[in-house]
Amino acid sequence: MCRLPSLRQRPRLLSDPIVALATPPGRGALALIRLSGAGSFAIAARCLEPFHPTPPRTVFRARLSHPDSREPVDDCLAACFPAPHSYTGDDLVEISTHGGLVVPAAALAAFAAAGARPAQPGEFTRRAVLNGKMDLLQAEATADLIDAGSPAQRRRALHQLERGLSDRLVALRSEILELEALIAYDIDFPEEDEGPVSPQRVRGAWEVVRGRVADLLRTAPEGERLREGALLVIAGRPNAGKSSLFNALLGTERAIVTEIPGTTRDAIEAYTVIEGFPFRIVDTAGLRDSGERIEQLGIEVSKKYLAAADLVLFCEERDDPSRAAFLAQVSAPVVVVRTKADVTGDGVSAVTGRGLPELRRRLAEVAFGKLLALGDVEPVVTRARHRSALERALVELDAFWTARTGGVDAAATATHLRAAVLALDELIGAVTPEDVLDRVFAAFCVGK
């Protein structure tokens, strides 16, 4: 159940009892309610009869009633998870009721009347982070796994949830601290010309950790693209087969197709999965000089999409003399495709499907080539927050070496290493300002 956070929220305690629906509202067989925090077992005992907190993690059947009126709400199943062995790290009860709108709402009202307050978006996972059950990267991965719309997004979120990125960052943090330890002798004995640690060893350690931070940072463009979906813009002259190819890639008749040039007047955007990767495909108006006002507006919209594209699919029925001029104006990678193979005998056919499998593979390779090369083993940066923190760490590492080679004393150069460590700590969530946590969890579901 997702909702926007209110502008004025009541103050939250870290352990006060909270309750929320963890499954989407509406018609369904079951609904899952989560109740967590100090006193949650006592609250559950007021509403569930019988109530069995022991043995833990064991499902029992109970009658759910309003704590004041004792009006029956539902027959349900429940299980107790005592702290600290629960998702949040606090006492937690999960109650399965019948689905629909009325029964879950009445159950929530009963637990609220017994003393629980409605949870804020992401508050269960936020408590898990604050109680050390997971780090901030794993919390983000939890949301990404829920929102995954393609196999590649699911695999990447699961890898991050299993500490793939966290472990890499912890290793980088340790390497920076070891580098700081190498120059500790210079700090303690600044008058020594040649200490027990050679300058070559310090340089080697710096080059290794800087290279690893830079390598991880280079995954950011495709990682963020994976999370958001690659913006694929289909372009070309009027009647070049763009809309037919758009429909073929989607697998549905979304755009109107006629033999009349200029049929598409506005950009049409749709989400699809190609070779396991997420794409946002845009069918644009044909590019040409036109005196017709509405078509001109459509062409202007097409140009805006082209400026923002991650990848452009340029369609032509035969060699297009305007292709070179078009390619010169586009900054995104361009895949040129010959359309209407069912008529010309060459290229891709949206009618017969000829060439479509090869085109799909080509689009995935161009948009996500680095991720395909990395596979599902290496960690990837998938959020702007991650990229910003790594950029700060890299800047501090470079500032360290500039200061060291510029003759700055060792104590001053070490401050840059400490700042790089702090940037990684903020990324993992070891030291994270409250406003950062607010932004991270604001987009979460209430019951998560």
Q: How far apart are CA 317 and CA 335, in angstroms?
A: 14
**Which residue's structure tokens are 């929220």?**
9
Mean pLDDT by runs of 10 across the 448 residues of the chain is 38 78 93 97 98 96 97 98 96 97 97 96 93 93 94 96 95 94 71 67 95 97 96 88 90 55 62 95 72 60 88 88 83 92 81 92 96 91 96 98 92 94 90 66 71
Nearest by Cα to 396 from 173, 137, 163, 195: 173
Quick one: how far is CA 313 from the chain centroid? 26
Q: How far apart are CA 42 and CA 316, in angstroms?
A: 70
**pLDDT at residue 189, as a whole number:** 56
What are the residues whose beta carbons fall under 8 Å from the beta carbon of 113, sequence distance 6 or more?
66, 67, 68
Torsion angles phi and psi, residue 368, rounded to 5: -135, 35
SS3 state of residue 114: coil
Spatial strand order of the sheet with 117-118 comes to 48-49, 60-65, 72-81, 92-100, 26-36, 18-21, 117-118
- HSE-CB at 245 with a 13 A cutoff on CA atoms is 34
Domains of the chain: 18-133 (3.30.1360.120), 138-219+381-429 (1.20.120.430), 226-374 (3.40.50.300)
Region of 239 please: left (phi>0), alpha (psi -120 to 50) or beta.
Answer: left
How far is the CA of 324 from the CAs of 243, 269, 399, in angstroms? 22, 26, 43
User: DSSP letter at 61?
Assistant: E
Q: How far apart are CA 429 and CA 169, in angstroms?
A: 11
Q: How far apart are CA 367 and CA 279, in angstroms?
A: 9
Each residue of 319-357: b (16+ CB within 10 Å) or e?
Answer: ebeeeeebeeebebebbbbbbbbeeeeebbbbeeebbbe
How far is the CA of 305 from the CAs of 68, 267, 302, 315, 438, in angstroms? 58, 8, 5, 16, 32
The sign of the dihedral angle between the CA atoms of 17, 435, 445, 59 is negative
Are the CB atoms for 148 and 154 separated by under 8 Å? yes
Contacts of 55-61 with C-beta under 8 Å, sequence gap 24+, read: 56/80, 56/81, 56/82, 56/85, 57/81, 57/85
Each residue of 183-220: b (16+ CB within 10 Å) or e?
Answer: beebeeeeeeeebeeeeeebeebbeebbeebeebbebb
User: DSSP letter at 171?
Assistant: H
**Which residue's structure tokens are 């010959």?**
338
SS3 state of residue 58: coil
Are the CB atoms for 315 and 264 separated by under 8 Å? no
